Structure 1
Amino acid sequence: MRHRRSEYEGILNILHICMLILVALFFLLMVLCLWNMARLVREIVKGWLAHRSAAKRASAEPPDDVANDSYTSWLDTCLPRRGLREPCEVNPQCRARDEHSVCLPEKSTCGCLRGYRNIGGRCQFMFAVTEPTLPPAEDAELERVLGISRAGRRREQELHRQSFVRGLAVTGVLVGFTFFVFTVAWLVSRRVRQKEREEAEALPEKYAAPPPYSVSKLGGSYDDMAAAVAYNQAGPVA
């Protein structure tokens, strides 16, 4: 009986150690998930702020006092100035040479606004137009110039989302496994306590003490009396 009890106690100790390890892993994964979530939110906010500041800078007229007369600044970069019919990427490259020229998106070359004509390498006013003569939308420029960085940012955000989902899945599995181990440990401990209680209740019936020695039945000798007193004081031997 003692050997069986010690075996049950060993199993319970192992289960308790496993539960402590699982609880520690659960809290560690929760910290990792919160850290990944904070990184994802930070990247989203950072990208939004960068796009907003870039749009504001693009809407303003870039300064002319940059590296030298052949370059103009746009979005913290130096771009070469372009004349009419020269290849371009954004409007500031063309406007640095002529304020009435824009970068034509269909040809990616500098050209004159509507109502102006190329005369001697300069955009000269010819006639007024009723339609607005605004340059192409700055969003299109941002899409052209910042397309690669946006795609990289989207891939990075997608990777963060995938890692966050994987972390949640692993956390859910560990929570379920921890609950299962706790349930098994509780059932085993309850069964052990119930079995010990049943054995304790059955112990007096199984190991009932015999009636004490009677000195009168043993003839009343001194040795028999001493043995009876010692037996009654010691009690039954299990």
Structure 2
Amino acid sequence: MMTGFRLNLSPLKEPLGFVKLVEWLTAIFAFGGCCGFSGTNIVSLFCGDGTNETINANFHYPFRLSQVPLVDGNATLCNHSVTTTHMMGDSSSAAEFFVGIGVVCFLYSMVALLVYLGYMHVYKDSDFGPIFDFVITAILVFLWLVSSSAWAKGLQNLKDATNTEGIGGTLAVCKESNITCEVTDFASMRTLNISVVFGYLNMFIWAGNAWFVYKETRWHSQKFSSQPGPGRQHVPAPI
């Protein structure tokens, strides 16, 4: 059997190769929208004497808010001394897990496309290739579900920690009776919301692709060949 590289673009015209190309693209949108994010919420402090002050709540991937200073160093806000204060919350584990799965799927899709376009003759002539491809695809479907759900929860925790209630519960000065704290300008989290959508979309796409990969395995061919055809009749054995 020849095992050399043979460029053949015909798999891209079939579901097996075309869906893999789609997976490659959707993985980029999933992890790219998360790992490239950086935003700032503007917090306004309405002091009892009628003056206003503002502070910036900066946050970015991987969203370890507990390490991000809301007030850096000793400061005076509304005539109150405020020490170094960090935001509360940590969504880094969910975000990094989600991005990690996205990168793995991005790389695996590239390798799979290379095999489909250059080594399809080897892929179809062996049992190991399709079975390995199917098992990895099934595992990645599950991981997309888990990581997307974890990141959706992590994103909600991030929103809760950076809104008015979250910031107000973090800053001690906001608990004073004559001081009101409010987030007056929110950072756009559109790309983070899109990343969650693409996470679940990837799960469905990979689940659909698992069927086309399964059709390449010997499990499917054996099942198909074992079914009697419509024109076949079982002849009774002679007595």
Tell me the TM-score normalised to structure 2 length.
0.32
Structure index of larger Rg: 1
Relative contact order, CA 8 A, sep 6+: which one is greater? 2
